[in-house]
Structure 1
Amino acid sequence: MLADTACKKTLCPADKLRLRLADSGGLYLQIEPSGSTRWFRKYRFDGKEKRLALGSYPEVTLKAACTGRDDARNIRQMRWSDLDLDKALWTIPAADMKRTKTAKINGRPHLVPLPTQAVEVLADLKPLTGHGQYVFPSLLTGERPMSDNTVNIALRCMGFDNTEMTATVSERDSHDHGRADGRRARAH
């Protein structure tokens, strides 16, 4: 497990392109000779290594990066049945979390408080996708979540580049579906 003191004190040797300090669950802090320090979550999809940018250190603390690592899988797989907009709460079942088999069966759900802005956006979205299982359904079928490729294209259209923000694919999704649907979002 990574400690905050290591994050503060470690420098990248001048003869290396980068240094990576690893935590658990694929989280690591990448330190470059220029002094740039950024959090990433590493994962594999379809046999290829991918990564999710979580922000720069120290603006994004170790604790916040750990939370980001865990919550990043949640969002595009959000189900309407897990939301309580009146209480502004997203309850993620233990079975959907990255845990041991026993913890998935016997563990407590992960509770995510929703800010007012998120509740407002979700309430506006409900008439469009609320009839299905997923808040953000696939373009091909509402029976599975939107692909990471669709999310990435939307992020690029909003002006984020792939060093600032990317989508991620959970282990559950990659095992259940084999690969993302690969369809591109289209601007209308």
Structure 2
Amino acid sequence: MLTEIGCKSTTCPPDKPRARFADAGGLYLEVTPNGSKRWFWKYRSVGKEKRLALGNYPEVTLKQARFARDDARKLLSTGADPVQQRKVAKATARVSSANTYEAIARELHGLKEREWSAAYAGKWLRMSEANLFPYIGPLPLDSITPPLILDTLRRVEKQGKRETAHSLRQYAGQTFRYAIATGRATADPTAPLKDALQAVLVRHMAAVLTPKQAGQLLRDMEIYNGSPVTREALLLSALTFQRPGEIRQMEWAELDFDNALWTIPAVKMKRTKQAKMSGRPHYVPLSPQAVESLQRLKPLTGHHKYVFPSLLGEGRCMSENTVNTALRRMGYDNETMTAHGFRAMARTLIVENLNVAPDVIEAQLAHGKSGPLGMAYDRAEFMTQRRKMMNEWADYLDKLRQGADVVPLRA
């Protein structure tokens, strides 16, 4: 039988590929000329001689190797083959490691990244890496329970990030539903959590919503003593009521002065990635007042790509904070008016005062519609109604700025 001292002193003659030193019960230590020492247990199964590797010496001591031999012998006595059992265990471990939450989530992200917008895909992975992977990422999907996910989301809630917690629940749900579809999970543990999280209190963009307030805002814009380019950006925000990003990225090449039309390419619109790639552009009829504003800008920025270029360098458009900063300088705080608020202002005042069909307003706002007729609202057949509305809206704003008494027109 071997001893610990004997194991340490064993060597393999240089003229042999290996040397074996027997212990007892089929256990032996195999030594190679380069000094490597490995434990093996020799046994017979179904009439065939086999051997089971038990680890390297000295990481596995003589005592530990004997315990491992005895465990394998007990397994063999039940009729199971130790080598086959080990193969099954390794295969199971590989499957389990491939079925962890993080592995499946990253697989889903890789699959969807091409169809998600770059911003959404980046946010999805970034938030998952920060808030989900450290806690449930290493766990097999079948071991993740609703209380475990809820505890993970509660960590985010305690930081005051309620909306983030709801987004993370959505991301986890997408991952589990993908796992179910691919046969690697049988249930979505995020489903019962819908009412377990604190509600998100939706806060609408600040906007002036009455004719009196709008009139004062327009007068304040008229006497704004900042950059004339910024003043026109404020005015065109009111006249066109498009999204702030679309206005500041307006290009001279997109403007058709002969037809008083601004064509916003689909890629610039707030749409899905697929709609950005293959959707129709958004058409914005320009009122005479909007055309005059753009003509005032032509000598100032007409040599640039953008109607509202950045002051920080050629090839960039105006900062997203420029209009909001101008509103702050005019005395309108974040609770009163924002750049995005011009859309709400127009939507409210047009409905209440200009007798325009809501569908036409929604089309001009480029709000998506659900159902089979959804995108029909963005087709040229509405251009007559849109153009009429935009001209009436510009005239209405002129009256408000002048302080005239405006009588609402009801249907």
How far is 1:146 from its partner? 0.9
- Mapped partners of 1:137, 1:92: distance in 2: 17
- Mapped partners of 1:54, 1:109: distance in 2: 27
2:303 — aligned with what? 131
Residues 1:146 and 2:333 are matched in the alignment: no
1:119 — aligned with what? 291
State TM-score, norm by structure 2: 0.25
Task: Note the residue ranges of structure 2 that are not aligned, 5 or more in a row.
Answer: 1-200, 211-239, 341-411
- Mapped partners of 2:334, 2:318: distance in 1: 18
1:175-186 equivalent positions in 2, closer than 5 A: none
SS of equivalent to 2:321: helix
How far is 1:141 from its partner? 1.2
Q: Residues 84-110 of structure 1: CA distance to partner in whole angstroms, max 9, x if unpaired?
A: 122221110011112222211211000
2:402 — aligned with what? none
State TM-score, norm by structure 1: 0.51
Q: Structure 1 residues 72 and 150, CA, compared in 2 at 3 Å: closer, same or farther?
A: closer
- Mapped partners of 1:136, 1:29: distance in 2: 31
Using CA pairs under 8 Å that are at least 6 residues apart, name the structure with larger relative contact order, 1 or 2: 1
- Mapped partners of 1:144, 1:76: distance in 2: 10
How far is 1:139 from its partner? 1.1
User: Computing the radius of gyration over CA atoms, which structure comes out larger, 1 or 2?
Assistant: 2
1:75 — aligned with what? 247
1:83-122 equivalent positions in 2, closer than 5 A: 83-122=255-294
How far is 1:163 from its partner? 2.2
Q: Residues 125-181 of structure 1: CA distance to partner in whole angstroms, max 9, x if unpaired?
A: 01110111111111111311111233222222334332232246xxxxxxxxxxxxx
CA contact (8 A) 1:92 1:109 kept: yes
Greater per-residue strand proportion: 1
Residues 1:166 and 2:338 are matched in the alignment: yes
CA contact (8 A) 1:77 1:135 kept: yes
* Amino acid across the alignment from 1:117: Q
Identity over the aligned pairs, expressed in percent? 60
How far is 1:56 from its partner? 4.4
Cα RMSD for the two superposed structures? 2.8
